[in-house]
Protein backbone atom coordinates (compact mmCIF):
# COMPACT_ATOMS: atom_id res chain seq x y z
CA UNK A 1 0.00 0.00 0.00
CA UNK A 2 2.98 2.34 0.39
CA UNK A 3 4.46 1.70 -3.13
CA UNK A 4 2.07 4.05 -5.06
CA UNK A 5 2.64 6.84 -2.54
CA UNK A 6 6.39 6.50 -2.95
CA UNK A 7 6.11 6.79 -6.74
CA UNK A 8 3.92 9.90 -6.49
CA UNK A 9 6.31 11.51 -4.00
CA UNK A 10 9.31 10.79 -6.22
CA UNK A 11 7.55 12.27 -9.24
CA UNK A 12 6.64 15.39 -7.27
CA UNK A 13 10.26 15.89 -6.24
CA UNK A 14 11.40 15.55 -9.86
CA UNK A 15 8.95 18.23 -11.02
CA UNK A 16 9.99 20.56 -8.20
CA UNK A 17 13.71 20.13 -8.95
CA UNK A 18 13.48 20.54 -12.75
CA UNK A 19 13.43 23.66 -14.91
CA UNK A 20 12.12 24.28 -18.40
CA UNK A 21 15.39 26.00 -19.44
CA UNK A 22 17.91 23.95 -21.43
CA UNK A 23 21.43 25.36 -21.15
CA UNK A 24 23.37 24.77 -24.37
CA UNK A 25 25.88 27.61 -24.12
CA UNK A 26 29.08 27.17 -22.14
CA UNK A 27 31.20 29.98 -20.72
CA UNK A 28 32.87 32.10 -23.41
CA UNK A 29 36.13 30.73 -24.81
CA UNK A 30 38.21 32.45 -27.49
CA UNK A 31 38.63 30.31 -30.63
CA UNK A 32 40.48 31.81 -33.59
CA UNK A 33 39.65 30.82 -37.17
CA UNK A 34 42.31 31.26 -39.88
CA UNK A 35 41.94 31.04 -43.66
CA UNK A 36 44.90 31.73 -45.92
CA UNK A 37 45.80 30.36 -49.36
CA UNK A 38 49.07 31.31 -51.04
CA UNK A 39 49.49 31.41 -54.81
CA UNK A 40 52.90 32.21 -56.25
CA UNK A 41 51.25 34.14 -59.08
CA UNK A 42 49.99 36.72 -56.56
CA UNK A 43 51.98 39.62 -55.12
CA UNK A 44 49.24 40.43 -52.58
CA UNK A 45 48.16 37.62 -50.27
CA UNK A 46 45.02 37.76 -48.12
CA UNK A 47 44.56 36.15 -44.71
CA UNK A 48 41.20 35.97 -42.96
CA UNK A 49 41.42 36.09 -39.15
CA UNK A 50 38.10 35.61 -37.36
CA UNK A 51 36.79 34.38 -34.05
CA UNK A 52 34.16 31.77 -33.35
CA UNK A 53 31.06 32.97 -31.54
CA UNK A 54 28.29 31.51 -29.40
CA UNK A 55 25.34 33.16 -27.74
CA UNK A 56 21.62 33.24 -27.16
CA UNK A 57 19.42 33.46 -30.22
CA UNK A 58 19.96 32.72 -33.90
CA UNK A 59 23.53 32.04 -35.03
CA UNK A 60 22.61 33.49 -38.44
CA UNK A 61 21.55 36.76 -36.84
CA UNK A 62 24.75 36.94 -34.77
CA UNK A 63 26.89 36.24 -37.84
CA UNK A 64 25.60 39.45 -39.40
CA UNK A 65 27.00 41.49 -36.50
CA UNK A 66 30.59 42.56 -37.14
CA UNK A 67 31.70 42.28 -33.52
CA UNK A 68 30.55 38.66 -33.35
CA UNK A 69 33.24 37.31 -35.67
CA UNK A 70 35.90 40.02 -36.06
CA UNK A 71 38.61 40.88 -33.52
CA UNK A 72 39.26 44.41 -32.41
CA UNK A 73 42.62 45.80 -33.52
CA UNK A 74 44.21 45.54 -30.07
CA UNK A 75 43.48 41.80 -29.87
CA UNK A 76 46.11 40.95 -32.52
CA UNK A 77 49.49 42.05 -31.17
CA UNK A 78 51.75 40.20 -33.63
CA UNK A 79 51.17 39.18 -37.26
CA UNK A 80 53.92 38.14 -39.68
CA UNK A 81 54.66 35.62 -42.40
CA UNK A 82 58.17 34.18 -42.64
CA UNK A 83 59.93 32.58 -45.60
CA UNK A 84 61.89 29.55 -44.44
CA UNK A 85 64.89 27.77 -45.90
CA UNK A 86 65.27 23.99 -46.16
CA UNK A 87 66.36 23.82 -42.50
CA UNK A 88 63.35 25.76 -41.25
CA UNK A 89 65.28 28.97 -40.60
CA UNK A 90 63.58 32.29 -41.33
CA UNK A 91 65.34 34.14 -44.18
CA UNK A 92 62.71 36.81 -44.88
CA UNK A 93 59.60 38.21 -43.21
CA UNK A 94 56.47 40.05 -44.28
CA UNK A 95 54.25 41.95 -41.82
CA UNK A 96 50.49 41.59 -42.10
CA UNK A 97 48.42 44.74 -42.54
CA UNK A 98 44.70 45.34 -42.16
CA UNK A 99 42.48 46.21 -45.08
CA UNK A 100 38.77 46.74 -45.48
CA UNK A 101 36.75 45.00 -48.18
CA UNK A 102 33.77 47.19 -49.01
CA UNK A 103 32.09 45.40 -51.92
CA UNK A 104 31.39 42.00 -50.40
CA UNK A 105 28.07 40.54 -51.53
CA UNK A 106 25.43 39.83 -48.86
CA UNK A 107 25.70 36.38 -47.32
CA UNK A 108 25.64 34.55 -44.03
CA UNK A 109 28.32 36.77 -42.48
CA UNK A 110 28.76 40.47 -41.92
CA UNK A 111 28.63 42.52 -45.14
CA UNK A 112 29.23 44.62 -47.19
CA UNK A 113 32.31 45.62 -45.15
CA UNK A 114 34.79 43.03 -43.91
CA UNK A 115 38.25 43.29 -42.42
CA UNK A 116 41.02 41.17 -43.87
CA UNK A 117 44.76 40.99 -43.33
CA UNK A 118 47.25 40.99 -46.19
CA UNK A 119 50.96 40.94 -46.95
CA UNK A 120 52.88 41.66 -50.13
CA UNK A 121 55.86 39.87 -51.67
CA UNK A 122 58.26 41.14 -54.34
CA UNK A 123 58.88 39.67 -57.79
CA UNK A 124 60.93 36.48 -57.55
CA UNK A 125 61.33 34.94 -61.01
CA UNK A 126 59.69 34.08 -64.31
CA UNK A 127 58.42 30.54 -64.86
CA UNK A 128 58.99 28.39 -66.86
CA UNK A 129 61.75 30.54 -68.42
CA UNK A 130 63.23 33.94 -67.66
CA UNK A 131 62.47 35.35 -71.12
CA UNK A 132 58.77 34.71 -71.67
CA UNK A 133 57.55 32.99 -68.51
CA UNK A 134 54.91 34.24 -66.10
CA UNK A 135 55.92 36.49 -63.20
CA UNK A 136 56.00 34.75 -59.80
CA UNK A 137 56.09 36.33 -56.35
CA UNK A 138 56.81 33.39 -54.03
CA UNK A 139 59.71 30.94 -53.90
CA UNK A 140 58.11 27.69 -54.98
CA UNK A 141 60.81 25.50 -53.42
CA UNK A 142 60.53 27.02 -49.96
CA UNK A 143 57.91 27.15 -47.21
CA UNK A 144 56.06 30.02 -45.58
CA UNK A 145 55.15 30.18 -41.90
CA UNK A 146 52.31 32.24 -40.46
CA UNK A 147 52.80 33.54 -36.90
CA UNK A 148 50.07 35.42 -35.05
CA UNK A 149 49.56 36.41 -31.44
CA UNK A 150 45.87 36.85 -30.67
CA UNK A 151 44.82 37.80 -27.14
CA UNK A 152 48.23 36.64 -25.93
CA UNK A 153 47.96 33.25 -27.65
CA UNK A 154 50.53 32.20 -30.29
CA UNK A 155 49.13 30.80 -33.53
CA UNK A 156 51.41 29.23 -36.15
CA UNK A 157 51.21 27.20 -39.34
CA UNK A 158 53.62 26.33 -42.14
CA UNK A 159 52.87 25.41 -45.75
CA UNK A 160 54.89 24.58 -48.87
CA UNK A 161 54.17 26.29 -52.17
CA UNK A 162 52.51 24.46 -55.04
CA UNK A 163 55.07 24.27 -57.85
CA UNK A 164 54.54 25.13 -61.47
CA UNK A 165 53.81 22.01 -63.51
CA UNK A 166 54.21 21.13 -67.18
CA UNK A 167 51.34 20.73 -69.63
CA UNK A 168 51.87 18.43 -72.60
CA UNK A 169 53.42 20.48 -75.45
CA UNK A 170 50.65 19.55 -77.89
CA UNK A 171 47.95 20.52 -75.41
CA UNK A 172 49.84 23.73 -74.61
CA UNK A 173 50.14 24.67 -78.29
CA UNK A 174 47.57 27.22 -79.48
CA UNK A 175 48.81 27.32 -83.06
CA UNK A 176 46.91 26.53 -86.23
CA UNK A 177 48.57 23.22 -87.13
CA UNK A 178 46.32 20.16 -87.37
CA UNK A 179 47.97 18.36 -84.45
CA UNK A 180 47.55 21.25 -82.02
CA UNK A 181 43.80 21.64 -82.55
CA UNK A 182 41.09 20.20 -80.33
CA UNK A 183 39.37 17.35 -82.15
CA UNK A 184 36.06 16.18 -80.68
CA UNK A 185 35.04 14.02 -83.65
CA UNK A 186 36.51 10.72 -84.82
CA UNK A 187 39.18 10.62 -87.51
CA UNK A 188 36.58 10.34 -90.29
CA UNK A 189 34.41 13.11 -88.85
CA UNK A 190 31.41 10.78 -88.90
CA UNK A 191 30.88 10.35 -85.16
CA UNK A 192 31.70 11.98 -81.86
CA UNK A 193 35.12 11.42 -80.35
CA UNK A 194 37.04 12.79 -77.37
CA UNK A 195 40.02 14.97 -76.59
CA UNK A 196 42.57 14.13 -73.89
CA UNK A 197 44.26 16.93 -71.96
CA UNK A 198 47.57 15.86 -70.40
CA UNK A 199 50.04 17.22 -67.85
CA UNK A 200 52.74 16.12 -65.40
CA UNK A 201 52.44 16.91 -61.69
CA UNK A 202 55.30 18.54 -59.81
CA UNK A 203 56.36 19.21 -56.21
CA UNK A 204 53.49 19.75 -53.74
CA UNK A 205 50.83 19.39 -56.45
CA UNK A 206 48.18 17.12 -54.94
CA UNK A 207 44.72 17.88 -56.35
CA UNK A 208 44.07 19.08 -59.91
CA UNK A 209 40.70 20.42 -61.04
CA UNK A 210 40.33 20.99 -64.80
CA UNK A 211 37.61 22.92 -66.63
CA UNK A 212 37.22 24.20 -70.17
CA UNK A 213 35.99 27.64 -71.22
CA UNK A 214 34.43 28.12 -74.65
CA UNK A 215 34.60 31.82 -75.57
CA UNK A 216 32.37 33.45 -78.16
CA UNK A 217 30.72 36.74 -79.10
CA UNK A 218 26.99 37.18 -79.57
CA UNK A 219 26.15 39.68 -82.30
CA UNK A 220 22.66 41.16 -82.31
CA UNK A 221 22.22 43.95 -84.82
CA UNK A 222 25.00 46.44 -84.10
CA UNK A 223 25.61 45.15 -80.55
CA UNK A 224 28.31 42.62 -79.70
CA UNK A 225 28.47 40.91 -76.30
CA UNK A 226 31.44 38.79 -75.26
CA UNK A 227 30.43 35.70 -73.34
CA UNK A 228 31.66 32.22 -72.47
CA UNK A 229 30.56 28.74 -71.46
CA UNK A 230 32.62 27.07 -68.72
CA UNK A 231 32.24 23.46 -67.64
CA UNK A 232 34.01 21.14 -65.23
CA UNK A 233 36.04 18.42 -66.97
CA UNK A 234 37.46 16.37 -64.13
CA UNK A 235 39.49 16.07 -60.96
CA UNK A 236 42.74 14.16 -60.55
CA UNK A 237 44.58 13.51 -57.29
CA UNK A 238 48.24 12.52 -57.45
CA UNK A 239 49.20 9.47 -55.44
CA UNK A 240 52.19 11.30 -53.95
CA UNK A 241 52.76 15.03 -54.23
CA UNK A 242 56.52 14.51 -53.94
CA UNK A 243 56.64 12.25 -57.03
CA UNK A 244 56.07 13.57 -60.55
CA UNK A 245 53.13 11.82 -62.20
CA UNK A 246 51.48 11.83 -65.64
CA UNK A 247 47.81 12.80 -65.36
CA UNK A 248 44.97 13.54 -67.77
CA UNK A 249 41.27 14.30 -68.19
CA UNK A 250 39.05 13.57 -71.17
CA UNK A 251 36.66 15.92 -72.93
CA UNK A 252 33.77 14.10 -74.64
CA UNK A 253 32.55 15.44 -77.98
CA UNK A 254 28.84 14.80 -77.64
CA UNK A 255 28.77 16.12 -74.06
CA UNK A 256 30.50 19.28 -75.23
CA UNK A 257 28.05 20.04 -78.03
CA UNK A 258 24.95 19.12 -76.04
CA UNK A 259 26.14 21.12 -73.03
CA UNK A 260 26.92 24.18 -75.15
CA UNK A 261 23.52 23.96 -76.82
CA UNK A 262 21.69 23.67 -73.49
CA UNK A 263 23.62 26.60 -72.03
CA UNK A 264 22.86 28.94 -74.92
CA UNK A 265 19.19 27.95 -75.13
CA UNK A 266 18.73 28.63 -71.42
CA UNK A 267 18.70 32.33 -72.34
CA UNK A 268 15.12 33.23 -73.31
CA UNK A 269 16.44 35.60 -76.00
CA UNK A 270 18.79 33.10 -77.66
CA UNK A 271 16.92 33.21 -80.98
CA UNK A 272 17.39 36.98 -81.31
CA UNK A 273 21.16 36.62 -81.83
CA UNK A 274 22.18 37.04 -85.48
CA UNK A 275 25.64 35.51 -85.23
CA UNK A 276 27.91 33.82 -82.69
CA UNK A 277 31.65 34.21 -83.22
CA UNK A 278 33.92 31.48 -81.81
CA UNK A 279 36.93 33.14 -80.10
CA UNK A 280 38.83 30.22 -78.61
CA UNK A 281 38.74 27.23 -76.28
CA UNK A 282 40.63 27.51 -72.98
CA UNK A 283 41.68 24.87 -70.47
CA UNK A 284 41.74 26.03 -66.84
CA UNK A 285 43.70 24.08 -64.23
CA UNK A 286 43.55 24.74 -60.48
CA UNK A 287 45.90 22.93 -58.09
CA UNK A 288 45.84 22.41 -54.31
CA UNK A 289 48.64 21.27 -52.03
CA UNK A 290 48.22 18.33 -49.62
CA UNK A 291 46.75 20.30 -46.72
CA UNK A 292 44.30 22.20 -48.90
CA UNK A 293 43.31 18.94 -50.63
CA UNK A 294 42.57 17.31 -47.27
CA UNK A 295 40.54 20.32 -46.17
CA UNK A 296 38.54 20.29 -49.41
CA UNK A 297 37.92 16.55 -49.15
CA UNK A 298 36.54 16.81 -45.62
CA UNK A 299 34.28 19.75 -46.49
CA UNK A 300 32.80 18.30 -49.69
CA UNK A 301 29.09 17.35 -49.71
CA UNK A 302 28.43 13.96 -48.14
CA UNK A 303 27.18 11.40 -50.67
CA UNK A 304 27.31 8.20 -48.59
CA UNK A 305 25.65 6.90 -45.44
CA UNK A 306 28.40 8.17 -43.13
CA UNK A 307 27.49 11.68 -42.01
CA UNK A 308 30.15 12.38 -39.39
CA UNK A 309 33.53 13.65 -40.53
CA UNK A 310 36.53 14.65 -38.47
CA UNK A 311 37.26 18.36 -38.27
CA UNK A 312 40.48 19.29 -40.05
CA UNK A 313 42.91 22.08 -39.29
CA UNK A 314 46.62 22.50 -39.95
CA UNK A 315 46.92 25.60 -37.74
CA UNK A 316 48.48 25.27 -34.28
CA UNK A 317 46.61 27.26 -31.64
CA UNK A 318 43.61 27.89 -33.88
CA UNK A 319 41.30 26.29 -36.42
CA UNK A 320 41.39 26.69 -40.17
CA UNK A 321 43.61 26.19 -43.19
CA UNK A 322 46.96 27.69 -44.19
CA UNK A 323 47.63 26.21 -47.60
CA UNK A 324 48.71 26.93 -51.13
CA UNK A 325 47.17 26.70 -54.57
CA UNK A 326 48.15 27.42 -58.16
CA UNK A 327 46.41 28.15 -61.43
CA UNK A 328 47.62 27.53 -64.96
CA UNK A 329 45.62 28.04 -68.13
CA UNK A 330 45.92 27.29 -71.83
CA UNK A 331 44.14 30.11 -73.63
CA UNK A 332 43.06 30.17 -77.27
CA UNK A 333 43.00 26.58 -78.53
CA UNK A 334 41.45 26.14 -81.96
CA UNK A 335 38.96 23.50 -83.08
CA UNK A 336 39.85 20.78 -85.56
CA UNK A 337 38.26 20.89 -89.00
CA UNK A 338 35.55 18.28 -88.44
CA UNK A 339 34.85 19.68 -84.95
CA UNK A 340 34.36 23.18 -86.35
CA UNK A 341 32.09 21.72 -89.03
CA UNK A 342 30.06 20.06 -86.28
CA UNK A 343 29.83 23.35 -84.38
CA UNK A 344 28.47 25.17 -87.43
CA UNK A 345 26.35 22.43 -89.02
CA UNK A 346 25.82 19.72 -86.39
CA UNK A 347 22.44 18.77 -84.89
CA UNK A 348 23.06 20.41 -81.51
CA UNK A 349 24.30 23.81 -82.69
CA UNK A 350 23.40 24.31 -86.36
CA UNK A 351 20.66 26.85 -85.56
CA UNK A 352 22.94 28.87 -83.26
CA UNK A 353 24.67 30.57 -86.23
CA UNK A 354 28.32 29.97 -85.29
CA UNK A 355 31.34 31.06 -87.31
CA UNK A 356 35.03 31.19 -86.41
CA UNK A 357 37.27 34.20 -85.82
CA UNK A 358 40.35 31.94 -85.71
CA UNK A 359 40.18 30.49 -89.22
CA UNK A 360 40.46 33.43 -91.57
CA UNK A 361 39.69 32.47 -95.16
CA UNK A 362 38.22 29.12 -94.15
CA UNK A 363 34.80 27.78 -95.03
CA UNK A 364 33.39 28.85 -91.67
CA UNK A 365 35.31 32.09 -91.19
CA UNK A 366 33.38 35.09 -89.92
CA UNK A 367 35.26 37.34 -92.34
pLDDT digits (tens, 9 = 90+) for 245-268: 999 999 999 999 999 999 999 999
* pLDDT class of 5 with cuts at 50, 70, 90: very low
Q: What is the pLDDT at residue 189?
A: 83
Asked whether residue 2 carries a pLDDT value surpassing 70, the answer given is: no
Q: What is the pLDDT at residue 131?
A: 79
Asked whether residue 311 carries a pLDDT value surpassing 90, the answer given is: no
Indicate the domain borders of the chain.
32-160, 166-288+325-356
Instruction: Tell me the three state secondary structure of residue 267.
Output: coil
Asked if residues 82 and 42 have their Cβ atoms less than 8 Å apart, the reply is no
Asked if residues 165 and 205 have their Cβ atoms less than 8 Å apart, the reply is yes
Asked if residues 203 and 140 have their Cβ atoms less than 8 Å apart, the reply is yes
Asked whether residue 331 carries a pLDDT value surpassing 90, the answer given is: yes
Asked whether residue 115 carries a pLDDT value surpassing 80, the answer given is: yes
pLDDT digits (tens, 9 = 90+) for 15-67: 444 445 545 455 556 889 999 999 999 999 999 999 986 666 666 666 667 66
* pLDDT class of 111 with cuts at 50, 70, 90: low
Cα distance between residue 272 and residue 119, in whole Å: 48
Q: What is the pLDDT at residue 282?
A: 99
Q: What is the pLDDT at residue 284?
A: 99
* pLDDT class of 234 with cuts at 50, 70, 90: very high
pLDDT digits (tens, 9 = 90+) for 202-233: 999 999 999 999 999 999 999 999 999 999 99
Range from 21-25, 142-146, 268-272 carrying the lowest mean pLDDT = 21-25
pLDDT digits (tens, 9 = 90+) for 126-135: 998 887 889 9
Say if domain 166-288+325-356 classifies as CATH 3.30.360. no
Task: Round the average pLDDT of the chain to a whole number and report it.
Answer: 89
pLDDT digits (tens, 9 = 90+) for 67-94: 678 899 899 999 999 999 999 999 999 9
Asked whether residue 6 carries a pLDDT value surpassing 80, the answer given is: no
Element (H or E) spanning 332, and its range? strand 319-333
Element (H or E) spanning 3, and its range? helix 3-17
Cα distance between residue 354 and residue 271, in whole Å: 13
Q: What is the pLDDT at residue 58?
A: 66
Q: DSSP letter string over 69-121?
A: H---GGGEEEEEEEEE-TTS-EEEEEE-EEEEE--PPP-SSS-S-EEEEEEE-
pTM of the model: 0.87
Cα distance between residue 259 and residue 231, in whole Å: 8
Cα distance between residue 11 and residue 5, in whole Å: 10
Q: Which residue has the higher pLDDT, 109 or 190?
A: 190
Q: What is the pLDDT at residue 129?
A: 85
Cα distance between residue 347 and residue 355, in whole Å: 15
Q: What is the pLDDT at residue 27?
A: 56
Q: What is the pLDDT at residue 12?
A: 42
Amino acid sequence: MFRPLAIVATAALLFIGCTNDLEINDDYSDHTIIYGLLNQRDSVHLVKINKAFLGEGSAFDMALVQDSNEYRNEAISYAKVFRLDANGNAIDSFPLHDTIITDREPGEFYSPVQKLSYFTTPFVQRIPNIATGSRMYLHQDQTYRLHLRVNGKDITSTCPIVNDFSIDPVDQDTGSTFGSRVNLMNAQGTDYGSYEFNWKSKQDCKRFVVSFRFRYDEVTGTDTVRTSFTQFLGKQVSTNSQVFQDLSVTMGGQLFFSGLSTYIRSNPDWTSVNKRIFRGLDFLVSVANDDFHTYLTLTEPISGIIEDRPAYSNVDGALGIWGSRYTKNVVGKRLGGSTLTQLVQGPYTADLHFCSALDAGGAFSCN
